Amino acid sequence: MKKGLIIVICLIMLCPFLNCKADVSENIENTFENTESLAVNAQSAILIDAKTGTILYEKNAHEKLAPASMTKIMSMLIIVEAIEKGNLKWDEMLTISENASSMGGSQILLETGEQMSVKDLFKGVAVASGNDAVIALAEAVAGTMEEFVKMMNEKVKKLNLKDTNFKNPHGLDEANHYSSAYDMAFIAKELVKHEKILTFTSIYEDYLRKGTEKEFWLTNTNKLTRFKPGVDGLKTGYTEEAGYCLTATMQKNDYRLIATVMKEPSSTIRNSEISTLLDYGYAQYKSVSILSSKDIISKASVEKGINEYSNVVAKEDVNLILKKSDNLGKITYDIDINKLKAPIKKGQIIGKIVVNIDNKKTTQIDLTVNKDNEKATFFKLYFRYLKNIINGKIYF
């Protein structure tokens, strides 16, 4: 065998062990240059950045379709908000109604009169897509399933979504019950702000009623939580009308993406196409930090505040999603702060900041203060007034 041929063969054999990251990365990025190869079998699809809502890919994203159990993304949002408001507690025991226990479809086999904690019921929804569990929680939040559905549709309006109308909290097919890939992704965007829910949606398998005669094994309907590193939610769906649906979320490279596919022909194709969508997002895009919520933007005068001035900060971090091939342009800010009067609370919206890239508005974020500023006493204000006179800040 010739010496040159031997060297070539050896290099080929060694290639997996060499540092070929640049070549591999380049090949991945080139693979996704043609987006027509994405979500080919899905009736509708979308990929967004979870922080900014930037749309990275869409296909028939506003088409109104049956969402199946992806409906529970909104149900979980309403439930977790009720818990955070103190209207429901994670360790609270709920008594299961006949209405909840009689639900068909996917379920955790609740019985009428049985008691289960809010935490375990929520786990039954997030992991096993239990229709009976979501009804039990809906009744606890709103009194009746019908009132809960009203809350769901009110939330749709509050989020300014146009393609959705809910008729139930579980997603079983029903006339006039519909949503879109766009709306599902943006409801999911709202849900993942409540990071605790990811501790439920990321569970692959667990038990309810552990150690009892009615022990129930949960296994996640979203198989990507086990087989795709970084995926920690969110919700599958299937009915005959809806086909196979999935809204998935993944954390990688310090930012989170959300992908939705609707009306896929099989669960295998659904999982494959949504996985490819997520890979596309991370291969083609990067998250660039523009402003931290810890950065002091300015100081604002607070009328009658115990502190004369408060530090103004963005209510949340400001990030932009850019193509990896793009460079960040010139950044400028337009700041609008309301007239402030004590008391002012941390987190209270006091104005807006508009971020411009190359003189083009890119995003708008609420402003707040980094500390509470309570109302000052009469004597505090009186001595401040005298001090300002002495320092020449007040003239007569």
CATH code of 122's domain: 3.40.710.10
Same domain, residue pair 335 and 358: yes
Catalytic member of 129, 180, 287, 310: 129
| Chosen domain end from 226, 253, 285 | 285
Same domain, residue pair 150 and 209: yes
- CA–CA dist 270, 228 (Å, integer): 14
Same domain, residue pair 251 and 302: no
4 within a domain of the structure (yes/no): no
The verdict on whether 69 is a catalytic residue reads yes
| Chosen domain end from 285, 320, 346 | 285
Same domain, residue pair 280 and 296: no
- CA–CA dist 351, 125 (Å, integer): 38
Q: Which residues contact 251 (CB under 8 A, 6 or more apart)?
A: 230, 232
Per the structure, the count of domains in the chain is 2
Question: Partners of 216 in the beta sheet?
Answer: 208
Which range marks the domain in which residue 227 is found?
39-285
Catalytic member of 51, 72, 189, 304: 72
Same domain, residue pair 300 and 257: no
Q: What is the pTM of this model?
A: 0.83
Same domain, residue pair 296 and 327: yes
Catalytic member of 51, 59, 69, 155: 69
Contact 282, 253 (CB under 8 A): yes
155 within a domain of the structure (yes/no): yes
| Chosen domain end from 227, 252, 285 | 285
Same domain, residue pair 322 and 264: no
17 within a domain of the structure (yes/no): no
Same domain, residue pair 103 and 219: yes
The verdict on whether 129 is a catalytic residue reads yes
Same domain, residue pair 281 and 298: no
The verdict on whether 167 is a catalytic residue reads no
90 within a domain of the structure (yes/no): yes
- Phi-psi label, residue 136: left if phi above 0, alpha if psi -120 to 50, beta otherwise: alpha
Q: What is the pLDDT along the chain (396 residues), one digit of tens a residue?
A: 433 333 333 333 333 333 333 332 333 444 455 788 899 999 999 999 999 899 999 999 999 999 999 999 999 999 999 999 999 999 999 999 999 999 989 999 999 999 999 999 999 999 999 999 999 999 999 999 999 999 999 999 999 999 999 999 999 999 999 999 999 999 999 999 999 999 999 999 999 998 898 899 999 999 999 999 999 999 999 999 999 999 999 999 889 999 999 999 999 999 999 999 999 999 999 999 888 999 999 999 999 989 989 999 999 988 889 999 888 889 999 999 999 999 999 999 999 999 898 888 888 899 999 999 998 888 777 776 677 777 766 655
